[in-house]
C-alpha cells in the first residue's frame, strides 16, 4: 500500500543569499533546529523533504533521495518532479556496488543507509547529468547533516517496515479466517444462494467487491452458468443458473478468462493489452475490472470477477494474487456444495421412488381391502333379504351398507307399481326433500333413469341440459335440484323394477364414474334382495289369507255367542251415542279423552288433538226450513264428518250443532290442521235438504293435547276458546289454541309478505305456451303464464301462491307485474307475427280505467297492442256484463282483442257469447281429454257444437289440453284449426322459443 504523500515542502532560501557560504557561527543552532524538525517528522516523506531542504540551503544544489524498507521493492524517489526511473536505476547501481566485495560505488551518488535487510537510502543529484557529487574538489554535504538525516530516515523506515509487517500479518490473518469461513460454508447445511451470498461477503472483507459475480463453465456444451451476480449498475444482469452459450459472451471479459485461462486486471484499455483478440464489453462500462479463472487439473472450471464503477486503479497485484488464491478455495467450496446437493438429489430421488413404490403397495392393499369390504356388504344386503324384519328396517340397513361405500347422506329408493304407472318411494332420507309421495310416472329424474335403464351421473349443468332437451320436468321433483346426483336402475334380468339414488346438496361432495360403477354393482344385490323379500311377502300373504279363512270359519261358529254380546253392546251404544246422528255423545268423548290423557302420561311421544266444531248459520236453517230440515242437516254433517277421519279417531256430537273430533295420533299440529281442512272442504259441498240446495260451513277450534292437560274439562275449555276465536274471526275457518302452533301450521302472513317483496323486486317471470295451427304445428301465438322465483322454495306455479294473493288483495298488483314482464319479454316472440294472451282477474273489471292503463303499459314496454289478447272466463263475463262489454270494446278500439277461456265450464249459454266483443274461444280441456277414445261421443258433440257456433259468429277456436296425437287428429277431423297443449310444448321462458 502506498503511504500518502504531502505536497508541503520547505521553502527555498531567500534570493541573494549564498546557501553555500560557511556559517560557522550558526552551525550549532542550525543543526539543533534541523534535529528538532527531523524528530517532529512522522513520516518518511516529511523527513525526506526536511533533509532535501536543508541540503539545498547548505550549498544551493538540488538533491534527490531514493529510499525503501523492502529492497529492491517499493523504491520511492523524491522529490516528485525528479526522473523516477533514472533515480531508481542509479540507486540500484549504488547499492549493488556497495554490497559487492570488489568495485566502487558511482561517484555521483552516496549511500546514506543500507542494513542489507531491506532498508536502504541513497542520496543523488536531482539532475541525473550532474556528476559533481563525490568528485574531487567538489563541496560535499556536511557529514553531520547527512548522519543526522540518515539516522532519522532509518528510524522512520524501520517504523514503516514494522507497520507493513503488521498489515501483512493482518491480511494473512483475514485471509486465513476467510479460508476457514469458506471451508465451513462448504460443509454447512446452507443452501446454494445463501452460501454464495456468504462467499461474496467474505471476498468483500478482503478487497473492494461491491460488484461481484461467479460463473461455472461447461466444456462439454461450451456454455457458462452464472451462479451469483451482484452489480450496482447493471441491475438486470444475466439470469442465474441458466446455461448461456459462450457465443453470446464472445470476446467479453468472462469469455477471455475461460478461453485464456489467465487472470485479467485493469480498466478496458489495459485489458485489451492483456488478451488475445478483440475485447467487447458486455453490460455497463466500468473503470476497473479484476477477474481470475478457477482451474482444476489444468481445465478452467469457472471464473470469479470483481469490478468498480467508481474508481480507477481500484485493484492491485496483491488483490489479484489474493483473488486467485481465494478463487481456488471458492471452487473447492462449490464442488463440495454441488456434490452435497447432488447427493441430496440422489437421496431425494431414491426416497421418491421408494415413496411411489410404497404408494403403489398401499393402493393395492386399499383395493384389496375395498374388494373385501364390498364383498362383505353384498353378503350383508343378501342376508337382509332372509330376515323377518319389516321393510323399513331392511331399507334402513341397506342405506347404512351403501353409506359405507360412498357418501349416501341423501339416499332414496324408488319402485314401480305393479301396473308400472306409478312410482312410489318406500325409503327416502334427504336433508332437503323431506317427503317423496307416490306419483304417476312423468318426466322426473328418477323416471329418466328407469326409462333409459342406465346409470345417470349428473350435476346441475347436466340436469339443466336434460331439462332443455325436454327429458326432465323441473316442476315434478320437489325441492331445489341437487348439486350432484347419482342414480342407477334396479334390474332383474332385462326388467327395471325401480331405481336407487344418492345426491349431494354440498358442492364439496361429488360423485364420479367409480361411484357409479360401485352403486350399479350394489344395485344388483339390492334388486335380488327385494325380489326375494317380495316373494317371501307374497307367500306370507297367502298364509295370511288361509289363516283368515280359518278365522272366518271360526267366527261363524261363534256367532251365536256374539248375539248376546251384541245385545249388551247395543245397550251400551245407546247410552254412549247420540240417537239422532248415531255418533258418540259427550259421555263417550269424555271417556276417550280421559284415556288419551292417561296414555300421553305413559308415552309422551303419542300426542293427540281435539277439534271443536260449530255449524255456521245453523240457526238460520232451523228458523227458515224448520227443525226437521235442521235434523237432516245435522245427519248429513255427521255423515260427512265420519268420512274425514280414520280409525281410531272419534267424531262425537256434543249438543245442538256442536261436534267434536278426537285425533288420537297427532304428533305435529299440521296433522290436526289437515283434518280441519278436509272437514271444511267436505262441508262446503252443497247439500240438498227439504228440496233446497244448501251451502254449509264450519268454524273449528283446535287444542293440541300435551302434558299440561290433566282433565277433560281443561282440554274442552281450550278447544272452545279456539272455536270462539275462529267464529269471531269471520267463520268458516279453524284456529289453533296455541298462537305459535297456528303460525307454524299456516303462515299465510309470511307468504303475503314474500309476495309484496316479489312485487317490489320483480320476482315474477312469464312462461309462454304456444298456440299452434293443428295442421302443421306452426305457432300462431303464446299464452303468458306466471311463475314465481321464490328465494327458498325455488320456481313456484300459480296454484302455489295466487290463492293467497286473491285473499290478501294483492292479485291486481301481481297481475300488473306479470303483464309488464310478459310484454317486455314477448317482443321477440311476435316480431314476425302472432300474438300473446294474458289472463285477467275479475277484479280488473271493477276498475273503469283498466283498459287505459293496459294500453299505457304496452306503450311503455314498446309492445304492439295489436299483438296482445286478454283471456277472460265465463264467470267474469257474468259478474257485471255491461262493464265488461264497455272495457272490452275500448280495448278492441285500442287494438287489443279478447278471448273466452275455459269455454263450457261456466254457466253461460252458447247464445250468450254474441253479446261480448270476442275474437277467440278456447274450448276447455275437459272436453278435449276424451277425444280419440271409445267414450268420446258426448265430448265430440259438444266440441262440434262449439265449432259451429264460433264459425257462425266469425270467432277463432282454440282447443286446450291437447296431449296426444289421437286428440289432435280428432280435432282436425271436426274442423278445429288451432290448439294448445303439452303435445306441442310445455310453458317455457321466452328465450326457449326464440332460440334456434
Which of 121-125, 514-518, 534-538 has the weakest average pLDDT?
534-538
Residue 326: the pLDDT is 80
**Collapsed DSSP state (helix, strand, coil) of residue 939:** helix
For residue 238, what is the DSSP state? P
The predicted-structure confidence for 729-743, as pLDDT tens digits, reads as follows: 777 888 888 655 444
pLDDT above 50 for 18 = no
Collect all residues with Cβ–Cβ distance below 8 Å to 75 and sequence separation of at least 6: 66, 67, 68, 88, 91, 92
Q: Measured between alpha carbons, how far is 582 from 652 in angstroms, rounded to an integer?
A: 9
What are the CB-based long-range contacts (under 8 Å, 24+) for 112-116? 112/146, 112/149, 112/150, 112/153, 113/67, 113/150, 113/153, 113/154, 113/157, 114/71, 115/154
Residue 174: the pLDDT is 74
Collect all residues with Cβ–Cβ distance below 8 Å to 113 and sequence separation of at least 6: 67, 119, 120, 121, 150, 153, 154, 157
**Taken in order 736, 741, 746, 752, is the CA torsion positive or negative?**
positive
Q: Measured between alpha carbons, how far is 844 from 880 in angstroms, rounded to an integer?
A: 11
Collect all residues with Cβ–Cβ distance below 8 Å to 763 and sequence separation of at least 6: 757, 788, 789, 790, 791
Q: Which of 388, 605, 418 is nearest to 495 (CA)?
A: 418
Q: Measured between alpha carbons, how far is 244 from 259 in angstroms, rounded to an integer?
A: 15
What's the average model confidence in pLDDT over 75-84?
Answer: 85
Question: Which element (helix H / strand E) includes 870?
Answer: strand 868-872
| Residue written as grid cell 353409506 | 403
pLDDT above 90 for 29 = no
For residue 236, what is the DSSP state? S
**Taken in order 468, 469, 473, 474, is the CA torsion positive or negative?**
negative
Which of 37-51, 254-268, 376-390, 410-424 has the weakest average pLDDT?
376-390
pLDDT above 90 for 977 = yes
Q: Which of 756, 633, 625, 771 is nearest to 695 (CA)?
A: 633
Residue 213: the pLDDT is 92
User: Where are the strands (E) in 436-505, listed by range?
Assistant: 439-440, 456-459, 484-492, 495-504
What's the average model confidence in pLDDT over 177-188?
Answer: 72
Residue 388: the pLDDT is 60
Higher pLDDT, 184 or 425: 425
Query: Percentage of the chain with pLDDT > 70?
Result: 91
Instruction: Judge residue 290's burial from the number of C-beta atoms within 10 Å of its C-beta, 0-12 exposed, 13-18 middle, 19 or more buried.
Output: buried
How would residue 21 be classed by pLDDT, with cut points 50, 70 and 90? very low
Q: Which cell numbers hold the place of 935?
A: 267414450
Q: Measured between alpha carbons, how far is 742 from 521 in angstroms, rounded to an integer?
A: 48
Residue 25: the pLDDT is 39
Read off the pTM: 0.35
331: left (phi over 0), alpha (psi -120 to 50) or beta: alpha
Higher pLDDT, 580 or 105: 580
Collect all residues with Cβ–Cβ distance below 8 Å to 84 and sequence separation of at least 6: 77
Q: Measured between alpha carbons, how far is 330 from 551 in angstroms, rounded to an integer?
A: 108
How would residue 747 be classed by pLDDT, with cut points 50, 70 and 90? low
The predicted-structure confidence for 288-315, as pLDDT tens digits, reads as follows: 999 999 998 889 999 999 999 888 888 8
How would residue 42 be classed by pLDDT, with cut points 50, 70 and 90? confident
Strand pairing report for 978-979 and 687-689: unpaired
Q: Which cell numbers hold the place of 712?
A: 277433560
Residue 322: the pLDDT is 82
Q: Which cell numbers hold the place of 154?
A: 532509518
How would residue 2 be classed by pLDDT, with cut points 50, 70 and 90? very low
The predicted-structure confidence for 690-742, as pLDDT tens digits, reads as follows: 788 888 899 999 998 888 888 999 899 889 888 888 887 777 888 888 655 44
Residue 910: the pLDDT is 57
Residue 130: the pLDDT is 63
Residue 489: the pLDDT is 93
Q: Measured between alpha carbons, how far is 931 from 596 in angstroms, rounded to an integer?
A: 54
Backbone torsions φ then ψ of 981, nearest 5 degrees: 165, 175
Q: Which cell numbers hold the place of 993?
A: 322459443
Q: Which cell numbers hold the place of 757?
A: 317483496
pLDDT above 80 for 572 = no
Highest mean pLDDT among 208-217, 307-316, 537-546, 764-773 belongs to 764-773
CB 453 within 8 A of CB 487: no
The predicted-structure confidence for 415-474, as pLDDT tens digits, reads as follows: 999 888 999 998 999 888 777 888 888 888 889 999 999 999 988 888 888 888 888 887
Highest mean pLDDT among 86-100, 232-246, 551-565, 886-900 belongs to 886-900
Residue 477: the pLDDT is 62
Q: Measured between alpha carbons, how far is 782 from 670 in angstroms, rounded to an integer?
A: 40
**Collapsed DSSP state (helix, strand, coil) of residue 872:** strand
Query: Percentage of the chain with pLDDT > 90?
Result: 27
CA 716 to chain centre: 57
Residue 813: the pLDDT is 92
CA distances from 808 to 734, 741, 756, 763 (A): 18, 21, 10, 18
What's the average model confidence in pLDDT over 626-638?
Answer: 89
420: left (phi over 0), alpha (psi -120 to 50) or beta: left
Give the number of other Cβ atoms within 10 Å of residue 296's Cβ: 12
Q: Which residues pair with 120 in a beta bridge?
A: 68, 114
Backbone torsions φ then ψ of 304, nearest 5 degrees: -130, 130
What's the average model confidence in pLDDT over 853-860?
Answer: 93
What's the average model confidence in pLDDT over 887-897?
Answer: 93
How would residue 138 be classed by pLDDT, with cut points 50, 70 and 90? low
Mean pLDDT of the chain: 84
Q: Which of 990, 959, 737 is nearest to 863 (CA)?
A: 990
Q: Measured between alpha carbons, how far is 720 from 701 in angstroms, rounded to an integer?
A: 6
What's the average model confidence in pLDDT over 806-819?
Answer: 88
| Residue written as grid cell 346438496 | 505
Residue 24: the pLDDT is 38
Q: Which residues pair with 228 in a beta bridge?
A: 214
pLDDT above 90 for 393 = no
Give the number of other Cβ atoms within 10 Å of residue 972's Cβ: 14
How would residue 133 be classed by pLDDT, with cut points 50, 70 and 90? low
Residue 107: the pLDDT is 65
The predicted-structure confidence for 509-523, as pLDDT tens digits, reads as follows: 889 888 888 888 888
Q: Measured between alpha carbons, how far is 81 from 126 in angstroms, rounded to an integer?
A: 9
CB 750 within 8 A of CB 758: no
Q: Which of 220, 221, 238, 242 is nearest to 305 (CA)?
A: 238
What's the average model confidence in pLDDT over 199-228?
Answer: 88
Q: Measured between alpha carbons, how far is 755 from 814 in angstroms, rounded to an integer?
A: 8
What are the CB-based long-range contacts (under 8 Å, 24+) for 615-622? 615/657, 615/659, 615/683, 615/696, 615/697, 615/698, 616/696, 616/697, 616/698, 616/699, 616/727, 616/731, 616/732, 617/696, 617/697, 618/656, 618/657, 621/689, 621/694
How would residue 921 be classed by pLDDT, with cut points 50, 70 and 90? very high
Amino acid at each position: 500500500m502506498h503511504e500518502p504523500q504531502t505536497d508541503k515542502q520547505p521553502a527555498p532560501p531567500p534570493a541573494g543569499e549564498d546557501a553555500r557560504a560557511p556559517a560557522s557561527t550558526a552551525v550549532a543552532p542550525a543543526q539543533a533546529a534541523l534535529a528538532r524538525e527531523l524528530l517532529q517528522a512522522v513520516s518518511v516523506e516529511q523527513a525526506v523533504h526536511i533533509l532535501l531542504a536543508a541540503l539545498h540551503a547548505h550549498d544551493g544544489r538540488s538533491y534527490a533521495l531514493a529510499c525503501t524498507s523492502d529492497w529492491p521493492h517499493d523504491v520511492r524517489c523524491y522529490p516528485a518532479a525528479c526522473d523516477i526511473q533514472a533515480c531508481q536505476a542509479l540507486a540500484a547501481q549504488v547499492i549493488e556496488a556497495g554490497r559487492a566485495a570488489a568495485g566502487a560505488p558511482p561517484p555521483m551518488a552516496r549511500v546514506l543507509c543500507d542494513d542489507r535487510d531491506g532498508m536502504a537510502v541513497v542520496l543523488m543529484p536531482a539532475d541525473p547529468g550532474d556528476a559533481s557529487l563525490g568528485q574531487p574538489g567538489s563541496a560535499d554535504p556536511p557529514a553531520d547533516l547527512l548522519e543526522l538525516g540518515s539516522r532519522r530516515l532509518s528510524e522512520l523506515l524501520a517504523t514503516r517496515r514494522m507497520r507493513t509487517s503488521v498489515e501483512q500479518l493482518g491480511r494473512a490473518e483475514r485471509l486465513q479466517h476467510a479460508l476457514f469461513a469458506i471451508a465451513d460454508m462448504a460443509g454447512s447445511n446452507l443452501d446454494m444462494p445463501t452460501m454464495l451470498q456468504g462467499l461474496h461477503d467474505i471476498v468483500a472483507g478482503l478487497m473492494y467487491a461491491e460488484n461481484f459475480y461467479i460463473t461455472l463453465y461447461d466444456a462439454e456444451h461450451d456454455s457458462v452458468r452464472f451462479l451469483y451476480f451482484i452489480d450496482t449498475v447493471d441491475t438486470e444482469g444475466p439470469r442465474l443458473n441458466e446455461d448461456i452459450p459462450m457465443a453470446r459472451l464472445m470476446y467479453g471479459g468472462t469469455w477471455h478468462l475461460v478461453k485464456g485461462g489467465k487472470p485479467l486486471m485493469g480498466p478496458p484499455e489495459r485489458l485489451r493489452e492483456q488478451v488475445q483478440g478483440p475485447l467487447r464489453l458486455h453490460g455497463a462500462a466500468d473503470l476497473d475490472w479484476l477477474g481470475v479463472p478457477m482451474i482444476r487439473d489444468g481445465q478452467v472450471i469457472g471464473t470469479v470477477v470483481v469490478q468498480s464503477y467508481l474508481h480507477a486503479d481500484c485493484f492491485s497485484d496483491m488483490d489479484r494474487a489474493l483473488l486467485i488464491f481465494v478463487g481456488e478455495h471458492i471452487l473447492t467450496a462449490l464442488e463440495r456444495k454441488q456434490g452435497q446437493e447432488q447427493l441430496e438429489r440422489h437421496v431425494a430421488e431414491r426416497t421418491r421412488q421408494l415413496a411411489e413404490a410404497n404408494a403403489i403397495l398401499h393402493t393395492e392393499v386399499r383395493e384389496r381391502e375395498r374388494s373385501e369390504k364390498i364383498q362383505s356388504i353384498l353378503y350383508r344386503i343378501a342376508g337382509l333379504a332372509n330376515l323377518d324384519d319389516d321393510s323399513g328396517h331392511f331399507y334402513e340397513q341397506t342405506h347404512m351398507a351403501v353409506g359405507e361405500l360412498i357418501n349416501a347422506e341423501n339416499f332414496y329408493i324408488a319402485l314401480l307399481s305393479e301396473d308400472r304407472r306409478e312410482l312410489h318411494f318406500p325409503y327416502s332420507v334427504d336433508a332437503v326433500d323431506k317427503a317423496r309421495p307416490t306419483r304417476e310416472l312423468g318426466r322426473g329424474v328418477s323416471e329418466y333413469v328407469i326409462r333409459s335403464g342406465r346409470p345417470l351421473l349428473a350435476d346441475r349443468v347436466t340436469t339443466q341440459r336434460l331439462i332443455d332437451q325436454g327429458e326432465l320436468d323441473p316442476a315434478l321433483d320437489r325441492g331445489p335440484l341437487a348439486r350432484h346426483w347419482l342414480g342407477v336402475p334396479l334390474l332383474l334380468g332385462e326388467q327395471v323394477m325401480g331405481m336407487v339414488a344418492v345426491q349431494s346438496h354440498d358442492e364439496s361432495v361429488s360423485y364420479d364414474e367409480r361411484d357409479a360403477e360401485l352403486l350399479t354393482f350394489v344395485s344388483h344385490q339390492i334388486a335380488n334382495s327385494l325380489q326375494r323379500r317380495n316373494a317371501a311377502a307374497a307367500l306370507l300373504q297367502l298364509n295370511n289369507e288361509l289363516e283368515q279363512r280359518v278365522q272366518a270359519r271360526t267366527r261363524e261358529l261363534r256367532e251365536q255367542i256374539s248375539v248376546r254380546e251384541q245385545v249388551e253392546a247395543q245397550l251400551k251404544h245407546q247410552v254412549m251415542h247420540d240417537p239422532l246422528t248415531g255418533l258418540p255423545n259427550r259421555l263417550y268423548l269424555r271417556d276417550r279423552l280421559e284415556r288419551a290423557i292417561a296414555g300421553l302420561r305413559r308415552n309422551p311421544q303419542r300426542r293427540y288433538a281435539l277439534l271443536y266444531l260449530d255449524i255456521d248459520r245453523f240457526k238460520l236453517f232451523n228458523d227458515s226450513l224448520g227443525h226437521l230440515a235442521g235434523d237432516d242437516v245435522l245427519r248429513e254433517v255427521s255423515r260427512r264428518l265420519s268420512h274425514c277421519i280414520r280409525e281410531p279417531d272419534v267424531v262425537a256430537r256434543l249438543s245442538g250443532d256442536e261436534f267434536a273430533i278426537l285425533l288420537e295420533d297427532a304428533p305435529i299440529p299440521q296433522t290436526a290442521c289437515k283434518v280441519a281442512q278436509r272437514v271444511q272442504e267436505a262441508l262446503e259441498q252443497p247439500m240438498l235438504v227439504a228440496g233446497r240446495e244448501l251451502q254449509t260451513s264450519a268454524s273449528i277450534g283446535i287444542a293440541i293435547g300435551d302434558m299440561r292437560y290433566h282433565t277433560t274439562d281443561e282440554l274442552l275449555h281450550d278447544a272452545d276458546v279456539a272455536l270462539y276465536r275462529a267464529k269471531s274471526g269471520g267463520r268458516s275457518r279453524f284456529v289453533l289454541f296455541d298462537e305459535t302452533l297456528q303460525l307454524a301450521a299456516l303462515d299465510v302472513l309470511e307468504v303475503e309478505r314474500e309476495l309484496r317483496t316479489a312485487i317490489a323486486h320483480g320476482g315474477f317471470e312469464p312462461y309462454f305456451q304456444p298456440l299452434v295451427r293443428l295442421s302443421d304445428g306452426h305457432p300462431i301465438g303464446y299464452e303468458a303464464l306466471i311463475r314465481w322465483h321464490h328465494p327458498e322454495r325455488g320456481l313456484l306455479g300459480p296454484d302455489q301462491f295466487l290463492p293467497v294473493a286473491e285473499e290478501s288483495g294483492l292479485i291486481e298488483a301481481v297481475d300488473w307485474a306479470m303483464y309488464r314482464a310478459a310484454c317486455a319479454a314477448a317482443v321477440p316472440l311476435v316480431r314476425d307475427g302472432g300474438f300473446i294472451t294474458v289472463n285477467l282477474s275479475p277484479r280488473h273489471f271493477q276498475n273503469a280505467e283498466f283498459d287505459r292503463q293496459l294500453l299505457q303499459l304496452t306503450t311503455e314496454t314498446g309492445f304492439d297492442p295489436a299483438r296482445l289478447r286478454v283471456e277472460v272466463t265465463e264467470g267474469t263475463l257474468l259478474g257485471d256484463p255491461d262493464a265488461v262489454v264497455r272495457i272490452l270494446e275500448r280495448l278492441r278500439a285500442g287494438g287489443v282483442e279478447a278471448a273466452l277461456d275455459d269455454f263450457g265450464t261456466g254457466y253461460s249459454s252458447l247464445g250468450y257469447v254474441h253479446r261480448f266483443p270476442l275474437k277467440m274461444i278456447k274450448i276447455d280441456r275437459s272436453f278435449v281429454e276424451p277425444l280419440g277414445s271409445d267414450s268420446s261421443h258426448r265430448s265430440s258433440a259438444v266440441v262440434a257444437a262449439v265449432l259451429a257456433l264460433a264459425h257462425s259468429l266469425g270467432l277463432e277456436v282454440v282447443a286446450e289440453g291437447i296431449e296426444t296425437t289421437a286428440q289432435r287428429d280428432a280435432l282436425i277431423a271436426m274442423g278445429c284449426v288451432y290448439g294448445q297443449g303439452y303435445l306441442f310444448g310445455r310453458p317455457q321462458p321466452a328465450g326457449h322459443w326464440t332460440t334456434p
